[in-house]
Structure 1
Amino acid sequence: MQKAARKHAIIAAFLFFTFLSGPVSYCQNTTLEPLIDIIKLLEDTYGVSFSYAPNDIQNVLVATPSDALSLTEAIAYLNSTTPFQFTAIDTRYITVVKTPTANLYCGKIIDASTGLPMVGATVIADTNDFATTTNTEGEFFIPEAARTKAFTVTFIGFTPLTIPVGTLTKECTSLLMLPTIATLDEVLITSYFTKGIDKLNDGSIVLNSSDFGLIPGQVDNDILQIVQALPGVESVDETISNINIRGGTHAENLILWDDIKMYQSGHFFGLISAFNPDLTQSVSIYKNGTLPRYGESVSSVIHMKSDDTITRDLTAGAGFNFINGSAFVRMPISKKVGLQISGRRSLNDLLETPVYDTYSSRIFQDTEIFNSSNDATMITADEDFRFYDFSTKLLWDASEKDRVRFNFLTIDNRLDFTETIANSQQSETSSLSQRSLVGGVNWERNWNDSFKSYLMTYGTYYALDALNRDIFTTQELRQENEVIETGVKVEGLYAISKKFQLRSGYHFTETGIANTQDVNLPRFRNFEKDVLRTHSVFGRTTYTSEEKNTIINAGLRLNYFTKLDQVLVEPRLSVHQKISNGLAIELLGEFKSQTTTQRIDFESDFLGVEKRRWVLATGDEIPVLQSKQGSFGVIYQRKKWFIETTAYYKFVNGISSRNQGFQNQFQFVEAIGSYTNYGLELAVNKKWGDFSSWISYTYAQNDYEFPSLVPSEFPNNLDIRHAASLAGSYTLDRFKVALGINWHTGKPFTLPLSDGQNASNEPADPILYDTPNSKRLPDYFRTDLSAEYRWNVSEKIDAKINVAILNILDTDNTLNIRYARLENENGSTRINQIEQKSLGLTPNVSVQVLF
């Protein structure tokens, strides 16, 4: 129950407007007052008491009802002009509850420049008799009677948005607000596949996790898993630490978290994203036509962004699934300062679930951990694995023109495994740790309606450390890979006119990468460290025609690598042209470069669990990677159909045989070469009310060329010739369900020559192989299912449960085949085929409570 004394200011305002009002009308006053104040006024005037949740009504404004109204008429007025139901329990008590969503019309305000929902935007009727603000999801609700009005949405730093009569629906229509300084920024073309996946007219795709539908097999909206639903994006080994976009390796992707480069992307050595979805609000994916502000990648850009608005109310959540527990909180410290905190931690040290066992079997197969526990000498292995991540963000709106943000993120994976000889006290413990620490500060200022600036400084640290102790000897092998990078980025955005916009800037980075290999018996130590400083200037001009039928982004990035004394010029282009109603074409092109990459020395590196190590371009031995890419697409969108087909060509030069992961005759060969990937991507989406279905197909041919190898041309290790997915999702009120099928042809591998040609009595002798990558694995096929239900526990608490089943048919998929010599009991050797299998039937459940 809420009971308050009369406020003299409200009484005076009420009497004043009563004097001016006509004799009999609900409201002739056009000055809005907080609904909570009007309720208190009615309580004092009529001697009644209203029961309500203050947080629900505090942001609603409404014109004060005429004093000529009876209490019954005043309640009827509030029922018709607010999104609440006022019900008289008896002559004294009146309840105030939210009108059921089904009876409300809804809109969702989206920041067009970021794709994020806008919290606290003001929505006011043109008759000035009703107003409200958007909630933490960017949503606002109005009663059915108010839908006959037009509305204006305002937010500091954004162009006011007019919502015509009848635009709103009961399904929360998405409405874009343009920043005042960025009226020419990229705008939305359509929702892509399912709710929360949107395509922009600059060729990029934006995933908005706060407004997401459902993807089959996902239990927690893992951003880097969802990315793999897009055509042209694959993972040949089912992990998010090996995302292959248009035939490139994972290291060829630039992965950013709030504009900070990440060198680690996964937990559980790649099975789970390292980025907590609770505070990862959106992710932008560029497969081609990349903006010139982005460097250091020859394949794609994946830019993850956390929530960038200060919430007015404290919101929090906590939950768990069969792998980890998580929690987050968003809190206002003051009107100008906010804080966001999130964290996750594995739960297997408390409870080893069947899902954890399945994940362990998948990730530790074909490693020293798995091999030790199956050793003929009765060695048993006991692993202890754990991971966590923690992020925090401090938001400070220093003034109406200035926004400052402080970001911090840490990611940690730790594995200890102990080998013990049966019937013996002899044991040894080996360990592997993988961790990242990143932090950044950025300042954004709107100087005036034409100019905006952005300044950022950041640091990122990555360390991979393994200690391998041999149980039969005192030999110890330590391997370390360490990356330290610092950077500064300055940008300016200038609106030249309504049609032209200029964005330019400067980016400085200093990257140091060290690799250590240390053996105690026989004593051996190798330490390598390289440092490279890069100066980059970039610029982009955007042209938007009067009718917005033509949008052109043309830019240039110039890189100077000081140690290499090398300059690279990288043009970028994005053209979007509407042809007719519902039909458009898209032309994208880019030159890009990259100085950091990953190499694989031996299969046993880092205990065989994480075999890749970061290295830095040094010149001739490790050249700077360079790529050229062009694509042409046709887009059709009409009557809830979306069809896109894109033909592309991609060439990457400067790759090393050591970073391609060869497991054949080229495994230990040093060679520099290139690969060419060209193909066709198709995406079709159809919506019927609450049902959405989609199909995607990719044809790609991916070939190597290494001039110093024989043969010099052969299929790429990542040559997935055909890939397709078919899926559908359905939403019914608070329930969602999605079912999907993924299929692709097997990747290439190399067979050994016949046993006679491989005759040898020495396990160390090399295996003689047939033509490289002349065979293919069996086709990959997987069916996934997801379901979600959300309900209100109370007025302030929601609960959500997700169920997901990966590989619901338990299909046996082979991800990789390699060969190794093994010594038999009689001392002779044989060639053993080693297969890496995919995840089998894997159910998972997530429960989350939201405050």
Structure 2
Amino acid sequence: MLLKIYITAIVLFGFLSLKAQEQTAVIPFLNTLESQFDVKFAYKTEDLEHLKIRSATFENLTLALEYIQEKSPLEVEKLSDRYIALKLKTSTLSYCAILKDATNFSVLAGAEIRVTGTNQGGISGSEGQFQLRDIAPSAELEISYLGYERLIVEAADLISQGGNCKELYLKLQDFELPEIVVSRFLTRGLQKSVDDQFIINSEQFGILPGLVDPDILQTIQVLPGVESIDESINNINVRGGTQDENLMLWDDIVMYHSGHFFGLISAYNPNLTKKVSVIKNGTPSEYGGGVSSTIRMNTENEIGTKISGGVGLNGLSADAFIQIPLGKAVALQLSGRHSIADQLQTPTYQAYFKRSFQDSEIEDENNTSLEDGAQSDFKFYDYTAKLLVDLNENHKARVSFIQISNELFYAEQNAATANVTKTSNLDQQNIAIGGNLSSTWSANYSTFVNAYLTKYNIDSREFFTESEQELLQENEVLETGIKLKGIQQIGKNLEWLHGYQFTETGIRNGTRVSNPLFSQRQKDVVRSHSAFTDLTFQSSKTFLRAGLRASYFEKFEKLRLEPRLNARQKLGAHVALKAQGEFKYQTATQIIDFEEDFLGVENRRWILANDNDIPLIRSKQFSGGMEFKKNGWLLDLSAFYKNVDGITASNQGFQNQFQFIKTSGSYEVKGLEFILNKTEKKYSVYLTYTFSTNDYQFESLIPDKFPNNTDLRHSLNLAGNYSILKNLDIALGTTYHTGRPYTVPISGVETISSGNGRIVNYASPNAENLDDFLRVDASVNYSFEAGPIQGKVTLGALNVLNAENPIQQYYIVNPEDTTRALAIRNNSLGFTPNASLRINF
């Protein structure tokens, strides 16, 4: 059967190719007639440059003109024996085609046809036929049909002559069932799938309060259960987890860094990132690691027919991107973004800089500069490239590259002599390259092969001029991986996914001091082999995916099983029940240093599990709930339980009596998530709320159970967006959560002796909470068009009320009175205005 389909497809391809070869462009065709019959044709080049006509030979000019009149949309007017005028038959010009399945040649009724850049379009009829009128031959038609790949054709190729319509063949799309969207909510381009994934479509993305660009990792924080306790993208907490428990994938490449400006903005350019998926539970078995969540970012994967791109400028950076078709089967995508602080330090930059360097050598606890004569230079940039090659209709290759970089230089000066006394450098990079090959072998079976190399490093250097002492620290992650998977369609409703993945992760940590000479370096490597399988059943009312991932870790000689389950059942037209569950393991984690050196900036370093004092992190979580959807209303309610074991005290960021203790333990989260959303054509209003309790369990600590550093009992987002005019949108929103836990000194005995010094004498850990966090954000967006140019101007502000929100508090021994403890409090961003101008073509 497969052989018959393959032979039929080859014959069809050859026939279509032959038909295409019989067509020729109209203008060269006319040039041939001019030479043959010694005549001149007069016409508008723009009317004819997209037209084609079937090649033919003629005995005389009269037959040739009759042929043009009959077989093309041109009207012939003979001005003299030698001069002939041609113009479009605008009153009768029409376009038509018949849409068919490329595999079984059945007609496709109900497909959507849209004229790119306009509101014109139509739907294919019961016989797969559609017809359009009054469209320029140069126009592009975009044809889409659920379950099939999008097709883009030029209108000129579909000009109807004598009622003959061209047949167009759509190919089945190689997609995963969970990506079928069941609901749009919160704003345009933010959607929810049948398996409870949250999906962000960057191309269609609307407006959110405070954001002037669709920052990927800022956007996901409006989702219930997704927080950042310190406003940092480097610290995204999903259902109470830490940042290192999130698996970050960019074009199927594992990424170990996520933010610019020390985590205040996303490091991933949204203009070529077409789709972002956030999975909190019930993860497909092909994804390992990331015990809290999986965040997948995918760039544009289709080859366009025209050059497109854009440039943008906001208060922090300038960026550009371009997509260049190098033929019908090859395309190149490029993007770049660079900070503008070296040219202009905007109020946005100043607010972010102040927030980033609170309580550091650059800013003291009062947020004032310690050295008026100090020199500083900070910049960030990211670049991406992607090569798309369609080897043929059934085999597509893609190669992606990304570089993310943050660089900081700081030089301290002696106030009296103006001589440099100390220089500090911080360089942080993630460079990665990956490639994949997707193949469709039949209507029921496809495969996907992916391989990647990712390298992350952070290098810190300090040089003390007087002592000529140099201090270096480095943290490097080098990971390679390969994944092979197959997808077998079994009947109408059943799909089987299966595959194998190999990963090798090496992490190196080093410290070197030049005077006195000291050097320490450690490198660890973990290799894992994983087999995975999912069986997915989906009908109009039922979705069920059951899977298993089995991973063998060479270094520990251990096999670990990770069952996965994701289910959804509709009860009538408006109500559905859902349930998810999963087990996961993770080998890499971060430890957090709060050091006086290296500018006092928090330093996160990756380390690998050794199955001893750094165990494999393992998680189990379950969730269930219901969804109601009717007349633009969406109500979504989920209860969840999560337990994560194998965490270390070093990666929790303690700044109390446990800061320098090395031990392992667990945490347990129980909670409830709630979404209420009303969406209409012109507006969307939403409320997201999360209630949770999150507690540590460390058997070797006293007490052994206490609140988690990320324990936010109540968290709420209330916001809305409204289209005032066709091109003018506004958004206003409020973010609220209870204060994070912190530890206070014992009253009356705030410090105690320790060796030759004194330390803070802390009371019960995390027994107090900071003041509640409340922030109001706003944005306004205006879109405009000028020919092929689409523009957008966005104004936005975070914390428009300039509220003082504490996000962290800890204590040090007061240098002026060592019997007292001095509170160090860091606040959130103050009033932070921003503006963006974007031009796309």
Determine which of 217, 232, 237 is the counterpart of 2:210: 217
- Partners of 1:274 and 1:99 in 2: CA distance: 30
TM-score by length of 2: 0.83
Q: How far does residue 154 in structure 1 lie from its aligned partner after superposition? A: 9.4
Q: How far does residue 288 in structure 1 lie from its aligned partner after superposition? A: 0.4
- Checking the alignment, whether the CA contact within 8 Å between 1:180 and 1:449 is kept in structure 2 is no
- Please say if 1:433 is aligned against 2:423: no
Change (3 A) 1:828 1:641: closer
- Please say if 1:708 is aligned against 2:742: no
What corresponds to 2:638 in structure 1?
Answer: 646
What corresponds to 2:532 in structure 1?
Answer: 538
- Partners of 2:592 and 2:267 in 1: CA distance: 22
- Partners of 1:212 and 1:43 in 2: CA distance: 50
- Checking the alignment, whether the CA contact within 8 Å between 1:763 and 1:821 is kept in structure 2 is no
Change (3 A) 1:691 1:128: closer
- Partners of 2:54 and 2:191 in 1: CA distance: 48
What corresponds to 1:556 in structure 2?
Answer: 548
- Partners of 1:132 and 1:407 in 2: CA distance: 41
Q: How far does residue 182 in structure 1 lie from its aligned partner after superposition? A: 5.1
- Checking the alignment, whether the CA contact within 8 Å between 2:793 and 2:837 is kept in structure 1 is yes
- Partners of 1:574 and 1:138 in 2: CA distance: 40
2:574 counterpart letter in structure 1: G
What corresponds to 2:513 in structure 1?
Answer: 519
- When structure 1 is superposed on structure 2, of 503-512 and 417-426 the one drifting more is 417-426
- Partners of 2:510 and 2:659 in 1: CA distance: 21
- Partners of 1:499 and 1:359 in 2: CA distance: 51
Determine which of 712, 727, 748 is the counterpart of 2:741: 748
- Partners of 2:495 and 2:114 in 1: CA distance: 41
What corresponds to 1:810 in structure 2?
Answer: 802
Change (3 A) 1:454 1:209: same
Determine which of 576, 579, 587 is the counterpart of 1:584: 576
- Checking the alignment, whether the CA contact within 8 Å between 1:763 and 1:822 is kept in structure 2 is no
- Partners of 2:52 and 2:171 in 1: CA distance: 39
- Checking the alignment, whether the CA contact within 8 Å between 1:132 and 1:140 is kept in structure 2 is no
TM-superposition CA deviations, 1:703-753 (whole Å, max 9, x none): 000011000000000000000011111123122211111000000000011
What corresponds to 1:130 in structure 2?
Answer: 132
TM-superposition CA deviations, 1:797-848 (whole Å, max 9, x none): 2221111111111111001001112322xx8564211111111111111111
- Checking the alignment, whether the CA contact within 8 Å between 1:342 and 1:391 is kept in structure 2 is yes
- Please say if 1:447 is aligned against 2:449: no
Change (3 A) 1:200 1:43: farther
1:193 counterpart letter in structure 2: L
Determine which of 682, 697, 709 is the counterpart of 2:689: 697
2:718 counterpart letter in structure 1: L
What corresponds to 1:321 in structure 2?
Answer: 314
- Partners of 2:756 and 2:76 in 1: CA distance: 91
Q: How far does residue 444 in structure 1 lie from its aligned partner after superposition? A: 0.4
Change (3 A) 1:350 1:801: same
What corresponds to 1:833 in structure 2?
Answer: 823
Change (3 A) 1:41 1:453: farther
SS of alignment partner, residue 758 of structure 2: coil
Q: How far does residue 267 in structure 1 lie from its aligned partner after superposition? A: 0.7
Determine which of 270, 273, 277 is the counterpart of 1:277: 270
- Partners of 1:273 and 1:759 in 2: CA distance: 42
1:417-816 aligned within 5 A: 417-427=410-420, 428-470=422-464, 473-545=467-539, 548-604=540-596, 606-731=598-723, 732-758=725-751, 764-793=757-786, 795-816=787-808
- Please say if 1:302 is aligned against 2:295: yes
Q: How far does residue 180 in structure 1 lie from its aligned partner after superposition? A: 5.2
Change (3 A) 1:330 1:755: same
1:567 counterpart letter in structure 2: L
Q: How far does residue 239 in structure 1 lie from its aligned partner after superposition? A: 1.2
1:619 counterpart letter in structure 2: D
- Partners of 1:44 and 1:698 in 2: CA distance: 77
What corresponds to 1:823 in structure 2?
Answer: 815
- Partners of 2:831 and 2:553 in 1: CA distance: 49
Change (3 A) 1:378 1:244: closer
Change (3 A) 1:19 1:303: same
- Please say if 1:384 is aligned against 2:377: yes
What corresponds to 1:240 in structure 2?
Answer: 233
Residue ranges of structure 2 left out of the alignment (5+ in a row):
1-43, 98-112, 152-169
Determine which of 835, 841, 850 is the counterpart of 2:840: 850
- Partners of 2:525 and 2:396 in 1: CA distance: 33
- Partners of 1:152 and 1:242 in 2: CA distance: 40
What corresponds to 2:156 in structure 1?
Answer: none
TM-superposition CA deviations, 1:127-167 (whole Å, max 9, x none): 5433999x9x99859xxxxxxxxx97895699xxxxxxxxx
Determine which of 318, 342, 352 is the counterpart of 1:349: 342
- Checking the alignment, whether the CA contact within 8 Å between 1:124 and 1:131 is kept in structure 2 is no
Q: How far does residue 495 in structure 1 lie from its aligned partner after superposition? A: 0.9
SS of alignment partner, residue 492 of structure 2: coil
1:118-157 aligned within 5 A: 126-130=128-132
- Partners of 1:593 and 1:540 in 2: CA distance: 18
- Partners of 1:744 and 1:372 in 2: CA distance: 24
Change (3 A) 1:598 1:152: closer
Change (3 A) 1:450 1:253: same
- Checking the alignment, whether the CA contact within 8 Å between 1:11 and 1:41 is kept in structure 2 is no
- Partners of 2:89 and 2:134 in 1: CA distance: 20
- Checking the alignment, whether the CA contact within 8 Å between 1:764 and 1:821 is kept in structure 2 is no
TM-score by length of 1: 0.82
- Checking the alignment, whether the CA contact within 8 Å between 1:252 and 1:299 is kept in structure 2 is yes
Residue ranges of structure 1 left out of the alignment (5+ in a row):
21-26, 53-57, 64-81, 85-97, 108-121, 142-150, 159-176
Change (3 A) 1:378 1:308: closer
What corresponds to 2:30 in structure 1?
Answer: none
Change (3 A) 1:276 1:47: same
SS of alignment partner, residue 322 of structure 2: strand
1:773 counterpart letter in structure 2: N
- Partners of 2:309 and 2:77 in 1: CA distance: 33
What corresponds to 1:166 in structure 2?
Answer: none
Q: How far does residue 399 in structure 1 lie from its aligned partner after superposition? A: 0.4
TM-superposition CA deviations, 1:596-655 (whole Å, max 9, x none): 000024433643324110000011110000000000010001111111000000000001
1:740 counterpart letter in structure 2: G
SS of alignment partner, residue 537 of structure 2: strand
- When structure 1 is superposed on structure 2, of 398-407 and 492-501 the one drifting more is 492-501
Change (3 A) 1:178 1:723: farther
- Partners of 1:430 and 1:758 in 2: CA distance: 32
- Partners of 1:426 and 1:83 in 2: CA distance: 67
Determine which of 371, 377, 386 is the counterpart of 1:393: 386
1:645 counterpart letter in structure 2: L
- When structure 1 is superposed on structure 2, of 473-482 and 811-820 the one drifting more is 473-482
- Partners of 1:373 and 1:807 in 2: CA distance: 20
TM-superposition CA deviations, 1:388-440 (whole Å, max 9, x none): 10000000010010000000000111000010011214203210000011001
Q: How far does residue 492 in structure 1 lie from its aligned partner after superposition? A: 0.5
- Partners of 2:343 and 2:643 in 1: CA distance: 49
- Partners of 1:266 and 1:434 in 2: CA distance: 10
